[in-house]
Each structure stands twice: as structure tokens, then as C-alpha cells.
A = this chain, B = another copy of it.
Amino acid sequence: MEIKVMANILDKNDRLAAEVNALLSDRGIFVLNLLGSPGSGKTALLERTIAALRDELRLAVIEGDLFTDKDAARIARQGVPVVQINTGGGCHLDANMVKGVLGSLDLARLDLLIIENVGNLVCPAEFNIGEDAKATVLSITEGEDKPLKYPLVFKQASAVVLNKIDLLPYTSFDLAAATEDIASINPGIVLITASCRTGEGLEGWYGWLQDRVAAKKNAKGGKGQ
């Protein structure tokens, strides 16, 4: 019974996610769903990304949080459009929530929409929200066992940012094991080792994003629109 309810919720969500994606694809906007544990560094990654790319890409952010607008305030300080979704305690964003706020964004002037999901390594991986790709942030202070313990969020991601690499000397994190486990779960994943505090290693992340944004624009052009 509970399983059937859940299946219905997921089916309905997938239909709405397809709607959201179609709407944004019509405008050639690349949509990223950014996932990770609380404190893995998702917002810090966004701050760095905006600072690095805002001169060449038109960026906006949707911030998912339980109750507060703390992360949205951090993004607003970077001078790009940001919309807050509060789930009221809910553990993940869904496509209906995203659909509901799209009207607050000027979609005609956008190349890249990044949606920061609720900090949670489990539930958000089950709900598509209209994205073209998912990216997962894992901080090395969480431990190298996390990919095998929470595989879905790594299986579904196109890229993973292994964050807080500046703390490597002060931890017992096994970088080789983590890299191997992530590749075993998802052989095609792009792995970027970086520190959002120092900026080290983030060029690979910026390049990956730029390539995806360009590919989405080309795909739209190819359709003759």
C-alpha cells in the first residue's frame, strides 16, 4: 500500500519534471540539480562558480532549504538572480516545487540554472526536478566509505566534486579508495577533486559546466529554433 502510494508520487513527479525540462530546453537553458550532504559545500561551490562564470554565462539559482533563506542570501550577495524554495521540513525538492517558482525567473535571459537541493544524501536522488544533469558534492571529511554506503546519489550524477581537499593532510581520508568506489558505481562519472575554500582544482568543474551549457545551446540551435 505504502509502496503503491510512493510509486504514484514518483510517476506524477516524473511527468512534471519532463514538463519543467521541456520548458527550459525550449530556451536552451542547461539545468543542474546539485546534491550533497548538509555541509558538503554545495553553496560554497555555487559562490565560486558564480564568481568564475558570471561574466560569460547568464546564471540563476534556485535554493532548496527546509525553513531558512540563509543560502539564498549568500547567493544574492553574488549578484545573480536567486529564488528560494522552502520545503517546510520536507527532505527533498520535487518537480512541482520547481515548476511553481519558474515564473519568478527571467528565462529569456538565462544560460544556466543551478538548483541546490536540500542537504541530504538519500532522498533527493529519487526525485527528478527537471534537470539535464545531477552533480554531487562529497566532502572528504565525510569519509571515503560514503559512495558505497549511499550509492544512488553517485550512480545518478554526471559529475562529482570531491570537496575540502585542503583538509586531506589532517584526516585519514583514503582518496584512492574513494575514487575507485565512485568509478565502480558509475564508470562514466566526471570526478573533480577540489577545495571550495581555496579554489584549488575548480577549473575542471568550471570547464565541465561550460561544456554542458554550450552543448545545450547547440542542441537548441540544431533544432532550428
The residues of A with any CB-CB pair to B shorter than 8 Å are 2, 5, 9, 37-39, 65-68, 70-71, 89, 91, 118-123, 126, 139, 141-143, 145-146, 148-152, 164, 166-167, 170-172, 197
Rounded to whole angstroms, the CA-CA distance of A118 and B205 in the bound complex is: 30
Q: Do residues B149 and A65 form an inter-chain contact, with CB atoms below 8 A?
A: yes
Q: Do residues A141 and B120 form an inter-chain contact, with CB atoms below 8 A?
A: no
Q: Do residues B141 and A167 form an inter-chain contact, with CB atoms below 8 A?
A: yes
What copy number does this chain have within its complex?
2
Rounded to whole angstroms, the CA-CA distance of A143 and B91 in the bound complex is: 19
Q: Tell which of B66, B71, B150, B172 touches A38, judged by Cβ atoms closer than 8 Å.
A: B150
- The residues of B that contact A122 with a CB separation of less than 8 Å are 66, 89, 91, 118-120, 123
Other A-B pairs, 12, CB within 8 Å; known A37-B39, A120-B122 = A37-B37, A37-B119, A37-B121, A38-B121, A38-B146, A38-B150, A65-B149, A71-B149, A89-B122, A89-B126, A120-B120, A120-B121
Known: A119-B121, A122-B120. A143 touches B39 (CB 8 A): yes
> Taking CB as reference atom, which chain B residue is nearest A91?
B122
